[in-house]
Homo-oligomer: A and B are copies of this chain.
Amino acid sequence: MNIYESASKAREASIMLQAIDGDAKRKALVAVQEALKANKEAIFAANQKDIEVSEAQNIAMPVLKRLRFDEGKLQDVLDGIESLVHMEEPVGKVQMQTELDEGLILTRISCPIGVIGVIFESRPDALVQISSLCLKSGNSVLLKGGSEAKETNKILFEIIKKASEEAGMPQGWITLMETREEVSEILKMHNYIDLLIPRGSNEFVQYIMKNSDIPVMGHADGICHSYVDKAADLELAVKVVTDSKTQYVSVCNALETLLVHEAVASEFLPHLKASLEGKGATIKGCERTRAIIECEEATDEDWKTEYLDYILSIKIVSSLEEAITHINTYGSGHTDCIISTDEEAVKKFMMLVDSGNVFCNVSTRFSDGFRYGFGAEVGVSTSKIHARGPVGIEGLLIYKYKLMGHGHIVGDYASGTKKFTHKKLI
């Protein structure tokens, strides 16, 4: 089958998936779990091949780390599937119901989106995670993995396909695009794919977003801020900022820029510097910061930079309002935090900072579907349409309106013979 035949098959399967009930999907998920466990040695062996090829090509360490699929990663994806097995059936939920007139009932119910296209770099665990989310939500999925994870993706895909189809899922609901097919072709398949989910580096996601007509869910940048208010508990601030910056630097919810109120800067910054240096992180500061602590110079470019590294840019601000404006100007709408004991300042910050996740007195690193208790996650979205912030199964659902009547015609309402009651039932 070529890419268009596979996509067309996925579209057909997506219609069949709408009619599959919660129990059948639950059984298919359990079958996938069992099959992954039963075939784990073969998966690890395939992964070893990928790693050897990458090592021979001197691929960078972080890529190798993401590429590895071992006992730990297997357990993570099995846990993710387990949480989906126990999750309430999300399809067919009545979201609202209105009696428009006697015998004319409008119902809005949740339903799958249709066909999800997933394009991911290196991480084979993302393949399992997103496939199982698609299965639970009744969506077909077209997968396109990076060539560096070719063998791992292939075996994971085959295991999931076989186990789920044997358990009753429609043929072709899951498809893995072979590497010869170009990403650029997938980006043009708006007749087949309803939603694209890219998982990978900023440049990669940005490329996808700029080059497709298909709606894209995800985020390119994660330029997260913390603002230390004049009413902050400074000891707490040192602890939270250090965790936000250094707990795991190469991820989207790591802190990149710190804003500090001028009233507390001279007391706070030396303590923070000591704490960050203890974790191996360095500081780039604005002019006022450099008058207090010794550090490199931060330029306007730094406010727009996602370091994903042990570097923190610091700017001293004169007011809460200046902090909010800085964040709304340079931020990426991902996660931003205020550190303050002043309730009014907290309320204002959380209302006016226009980001998917606005935090108070905690680490930015909490911005994550697992930590939020969503179970498996599709990714984090910085879009302001459809799904925002960490996205679980909800981001893979939409709704349809069902209207049931008995020969009702609009002519009767246009002429005034009949009148709508619009009685809310649910």
Q: A interface vs B, CB < 8 Å?
A: 14-15, 18-19, 98, 100, 104, 106, 108, 113-114, 194-195, 209-210, 213, 215, 217, 233, 236, 239-240, 242-244, 247-248, 324, 328, 346, 348, 350-352, 354-363, 365-367, 371-373, 383-386, 388-390, 398-411, 413-414, 420, 422, 424
Instruction: Report Cα–Cα, A19/B411, bound state, in Å.
Output: 44
Instruction: Report Cα–Cα, A108/B390, bound state, in Å.
Output: 11
Instruction: Report Cα–Cα, A101/B371, bound state, in Å.
Output: 10
B236 close to A357 (CB less than 8 A): no
Shortest CB–CB separation between residue A377 and chain B, in angstroms?
Answer: 13
Which chain B positions have C-beta within 8 A of A357? Answer: 400-403
Shortest CB–CB separation between residue A252 and chain B, in angstroms?
Answer: 13
A409 close to B362 (CB less than 8 A): yes
**Quick one: which of B213, B361, B403, B407 contacts A405, CB cutoff 8 A?**
B361
Instruction: Report Cα–Cα, A153/B159, bound state, in Å.
Output: 60
Which chain B positions have C-beta within 8 A of A400? Answer: 355-358, 388-389
Instruction: Report Cα–Cα, A346/B403, bound state, in Å.
Output: 11
B384 close to A100 (CB less than 8 A): no
Beyond the given A236-B406, A359-B404, A390-B401, could you list 10 further A-B residue pairs with CB under 8 A, ordered by the A residue number? A18-B351, A100-B366, A194-B385, A215-B383, A247-B410, A357-B401, A362-B407, A362-B409, A363-B408, A365-B410
Which chain B positions have C-beta within 8 A of A348? Answer: 19
B373 close to A98 (CB less than 8 A): yes
Which chain B positions have C-beta within 8 A of A247? Answer: 409-411, 414
Most B CB within 10 A of own CB, among A365, A406, A410: A410
Q: With A384-B195, A410-B371 as given contacts, are A359 and B420 in contact (CB-CB < 8 Å)?
A: no
Closest to A348 in B: B19
**Quick one: which of B14, B104, B236, B360 contacts A362, CB cutoff 8 A?**
B104
A420 close to B98 (CB less than 8 A): no
Instruction: Report Cα–Cα, A357/B106, bound state, in Å.
Output: 10
Instruction: Report Cα–Cα, A324/B362, bound state, in Å.
Output: 52
A385 close to B386 (CB less than 8 A): yes
**Quick one: which of B213, B233, B367 contacts A407, CB cutoff 8 A?**
B233
